[in-house]
Amino acid sequence: MKTLLYCSLLLLTLSCKKTQSDVVDPKHDTVLAEYPDWYTFKAPVDKDIQGVWGNRDKTLLISTRYLLFRSTDQGKNWQQVHQQSIAMFGVVQNGDTLFTMNGLASQTVKVSSESPQFLITADNYSLDDGQTWQPYRGRNRLLTEMPAPGTIDKRLLVNPVVTTTGDNYKINRVFLDGPTATTGNFETPGVVTATGRRIDLPQLHQLKSLYLDEQQRLYIAGTDAVCGRGNSGEAFSFCNSKQGRGVVYISKHPLP
């Protein structure tokens, strides 16, 4: 029995060391904790961040696809609060209840040719600010059915997001085949407004989703910074991790 216990502890130790070695020493991390216009926080595991919910000054929840983490100290420390085999793309609040959403959908708007991305299909719920989760068996149409075109609830949107004043912010896709290209390989240097105003982040990331808190601060979720861009025969690589350890940028000021 002791031998089995020692082996288990050894395997756990080796596993922890392997996980930690996938991310560089924080002292040499190229992504800073703060920039003139942004705060950042990082995933506690070497996985990208699919979705973010909450408020930097209160409670934060992040999904690294199959794991859900919670922080109450501005992302300095994280507690894993849920794990599942079906991907989680984000969290939605309805009343006093939080829901994990396991689907990501898009609809093409005929008038503008835009394809907004939004969360669908609730599969777990929490009544204690994300500390514990239970399977969801309800039939709320907002949480379980595909919305009709043009009727998407703003709480479900992850790209673009719409402010209380009606301003629209979406992930900026810059296609590598030229300024007129609309398909093919692209990079995501930041966000762009409906009027074309471009807001680039301090570093290049593979951006996944957007979120607005109740103060109308913008949260931008994605991967680690990209160093090797895969162009001209260059190998693709992340700056500080092997698998793209997630990063979230938070605007210091509410969006206009």
CATH number of 24-251: 2.120.10
Per the CB < 8 A criterion, the answer to whether 239 and 30 are in contact is yes
Per the CB < 8 A criterion, the answer to whether 175 and 181 are in contact is yes
Per DSSP, the residues of 117-138 read EEEEEEEEEESSTTSS-EE---
| Tokens of residue 41, six digits | 């926080």
Give me the residue label for tokens 């991305």: 117
pLDDT of residue 110: 55
The residue ranges of every structural domain in the chain are 24-251
| Tokens of residue 65, six digits | 């696809």
* Tens digit of each residue's pLDDT (9 = 90 or more) over 98-140: 999 999 999 876 545 568 999 999 999 999 999 999 999 998 9
Using the CB atoms, write b or e for 111-148: b if 16+ within 10 Å.
eeeeebbbbbbbbbbbeeebeebeebeeeeeebeeeee
Distances (CA, A) of 46 to 8, 39, 238: 23, 20, 11
Show the 3-state SS of 144-184: HCCCCCCCCCHHHEEECEECCCCCEEEEEEEECCCCCCCCC
Nearest to 191 by CA among 218, 166, 217: 218
The set of residues, in sequence order, having a beta carbon less than 8 Å from that of 198 and lying 6+ positions away, is 172, 190, 191, 192
Least confident of 14-18, 39-43, 58-62, 191-195: 14-18
| Tokens of residue 4, six digits | 């089995």
Share of the chain above pLDDT 70, in %: 88
Least confident of 28-32, 173-177, 210-214: 173-177
Query: What average pLDDT does this structure show over 231-246?
Result: 90
Nearest to 19 by CA among 43, 47, 45: 45
* Tens digit of each residue's pLDDT (9 = 90 or more) over 176-186: 877 777 777 89
Residue 16 has pLDDT above 70, yes or no: no
Nearest to 57 by CA among 183, 194, 215, 242: 215
